Amino acid sequence: MGEQIPLVDYLVLDDGDPHLRAQECASCGARFFDRRNACAGCFGSEFTAVSIPTEGTVRAFTIVTFAAPGIPTPFVASVVDCDGTQVRANLINVDPDPDHIHDGMKVRLATYPIGADSAGTEAIGFGFEPAI
Amino acid sequence: MSASDEIWIVGIRMTKFGKHADKDTVDLAAEAATSALADASVTMADIGVIAAGNLMAANAGIGQQLQKQIGQTGIPVYNVANACATGATALRTAIMAVKAGEVRYGLAVGVEKLSGAGLLGGAGKKKNDADVWEPKGRYGAVAPVDGRIGTDAMPGVFAQIGTEYGHKYGGTSFELFARISEKNHAHSTLNPLAAYQKKFTLDQIMNDVMIAYPNTRPMCSANCDGAAAAVVCNGETLKSLSLAQRRRAVKVSASILTTDPYEAGCQVLPNVNTLTRNAAATAYEQAGIGPSDLDLVELHDCFATAELVHYDNLMLCEKGGAADFFNSGATWRDGSIPVNVSGGLESKGHPIAATGIANIWEICHHLRGEAGDRQIDNAKVGLAHVIGLGSACGVHILEKSAA
């Protein structure tokens, strides 16, 4: 078993339970997941890393059945509200049909292996699964 | 406000939208531009500025390519690109030049060849995983994230914008969104310039190929070819024109372009709401007109899910009331505020850079009383709206000439 690497750098695998980490603007509290030049809200340039709650509710979703070449379908794309921070993620470990997915449903962060590279490093992805 | 501050559209045309296999972008742009010039009774010699857009070849200089076919007079060209708001941006650019007093006439052109383009947003080529995982880009991603962390493709992005509205306010369903599409396809049967003039039953729409729930194929904008162009001048110039020209001129009572202001979550899922609401509020104020004064609206129904949220954003209904508003029948062509009587992007088609001028052409067509079978009787005021993801929103309010 080789090492693990997160699919994106804001997925934290080496500090307790897996969780997401945002850059929070030190002056206005706006949260971002990407590398920042400055805050889009208040133009501040100081950020602190904050852990995002791993439970949330589905704010928006779609079940994608037709995607760009090479992307397996169906999958559920969504925006999950994690205690006020909106997170873009797939809903996983749930049947991708409208009978099993609805806005407002409670979900929690879950990780899964994406595959190993030629050096044996395993990439780990994340999604949100039903919390019940 | 003096006449020199007023902006008027004196010529405007769109080509037939659809497949134009035998024409390239320059042919289509030339057809729209020369028709708009003829409609305005001017020639390229009168035009002081061209603003032109062709999003799929945004670096190719469509404005100069067009000049080389219809008239190289040495005037400045602004080639613009602003996603699906490219056409509205071109018109806005021409309007700003006229408003600044730098030119008498401005020409705006938008053109796109999009037939068979397929899914937009997610790149067309298959993205393969690398041999060795290596973090790249602003998210330190080791592999492509489209499909792994949400979706980049437009049908799914706008589907979420629709389901988010339902989450906030309730009242939405797959069937409701499908009924919006049913309306627009029904409207298209009266528009000979629409790419598709096919009426669909609700069952046909709901049982068609699902693209991104709740958007099935007929609930998505139709990729097609087309162009549109407009000639604008100010009120002083208008005074020098014949009575016949002044009667057909359409007043641009508001011309607004906005981008999305920062709000929590707007970099996670594009917020198409606030910038539209801001553009509409500014446009109504500038025009001294309220939503209840509108006789018709052409709004950016790139997907059926998008049309619903813009009823609210354009303040055609009370906040949170878009589902009830649609269910009341208000937005059908015989309703209180007909929306997308052209058939909208779902059936008229969406040749991206042409769209923002074509929907203004639709409004002008009605204000001039020239819309034939689909004429909205006695139309005096209309609003045209487009949105380009990224985001940019164009809102124009247009008024019939009093001449």
B104 shares its domain with B242: yes
Minimum mean pLDDT range among B11-15, B48-52, B118-122:
B118-122
What pLDDT does B121 receive?
73
Asked if residue B185 belongs to a domain, the reply is yes
The residue to which tokens 């049913």 are assigned: B182
Residue B362 has pLDDT above 60, yes or no: yes
Helix (H, G, I), strand (E, B) or coil at B139: coil
CA–CA separation, A36 vs A34, rounded Å? 6
Say which DSSP state B333 is in: T
At B130, is the pLDDT very low, low, confident or very high (cuts 50, 70, 90)? confident
Residue B230 has pLDDT above 70, yes or no: yes
Question: Under 8 Å CB-to-CB from B42, ≥6 apart: which residues?
Answer: B10, B11, B105, B231
B60 shares its domain with B208: no
Shortest CA gap B393–chain A (Å): 19
Interface test with B, best of A8, A9, A12, A62 (most B CBs within 10 A): A62
Asked if the C-beta of B147 comes within 8 angstroms of chain A's C-beta atoms, the answer is yes
Asked if residue B95 belongs to a domain, the reply is yes
At B124, is the pLDDT very low, low, confident or very high (cuts 50, 70, 90)? low
Residue B111 has pLDDT above 80, yes or no: yes
B234 shares its domain with B309: no
Average pLDDT over residues B373-390: 97
CATH number of residue B12's parent domain = 3.40.47.10
Asked if the C-beta of A30 comes within 8 angstroms of chain B's C-beta atoms, the answer is yes
B110 shares its domain with B189: no
B214 shares its domain with B323: yes
Residues 98-127 of A with CB under 8 A from B: 98, 103-104, 114-115, 117-119, 121, 123, 125-126
Residues of chain B in contact with residue A23, where contact means CB-CB under 8 angstroms, are none
B169 shares its domain with B94: no
Shortest CA gap B265–chain A (Å): 5
Say which DSSP state B1 is in: -
Asked if residue B279 belongs to a domain, the reply is yes
pTM: 0.96
Residue B355 has pLDDT above 60, yes or no: yes
Asked if residue B90 belongs to a domain, the reply is yes
**CB B177: neighbour CB atoms within 10 A?**
29
B74 shares its domain with B177: no
What pLDDT does B11 receive?
98
With a cut of 0.95, is the ipTM above it? yes
Percent of chain B with pLDDT over 90: 94
Average pLDDT over residues B286-313: 98
B283 shares its domain with B368: yes
The letter for the amino acid at B79 is N
B286 shares its domain with B235: no
CA B355 to chain centre: 4
At B122, is the pLDDT very low, low, confident or very high (cuts 50, 70, 90)? low
Asked if the C-beta of B120 comes within 8 angstroms of chain A's C-beta atoms, the answer is no
pLDDT digits (tens, 9 = 90+) for A39-57: 999 999 999 999 999 999 9
Contact state of A103 with B167 under an 8 Å Cβ cutoff: yes
Domain residues for B176? 154-218+254-400
What pLDDT does A70 receive?
87
Contact in structure between B305 and B158 (CB atoms under 8 Å): yes
pLDDT digits (tens, 9 = 90+) for A62-95: 999 999 888 999 999 999 999 999 999 999 999 9
B53 shares its domain with B105: yes
Average pLDDT over residues B82-104: 98
> Structural domain tally of chain A?
1
**CB B205: neighbour CB atoms within 10 A?**
23
Asked if the C-beta of B161 comes within 8 angstroms of chain A's C-beta atoms, the answer is yes
pLDDT digits (tens, 9 = 90+) for B163-174: 999 999 999 999
> Which two structure tokens, joined as six digits, stand for B110?
């938008």
What pLDDT does B1 receive?
73
Average pLDDT over residues A109-131: 96
What pLDDT does B123 receive?
54
Contact state of A79 with B160 under an 8 Å Cβ cutoff: yes
Interface test with A, best of B119, B138, B149, B391 (most A CBs within 10 A): B149
B300 shares its domain with B371: yes
Residue B125 has pLDDT above 70, yes or no: no
Average pLDDT over residues B47-68: 97
Interface test with B, best of A24, A39, A66 (most B CBs within 10 A): A66
DSSP per residue over B47-85, as a string? EEEEEEE-GGGTTS-HHHHHHHHH------EEEE-BTBT
B240 shares its domain with B333: no
Domain residues for A120? 4-130
Average pLDDT over residues B311-315: 98
What pLDDT does A1 receive?
53
Contact in structure between B206 and B216 (CB atoms under 8 Å): yes
| Chain mean pLDDT for chain B | 96
Contact state of A78 with B167 under an 8 Å Cβ cutoff: no
Residue B265 has pLDDT above 90, yes or no: yes
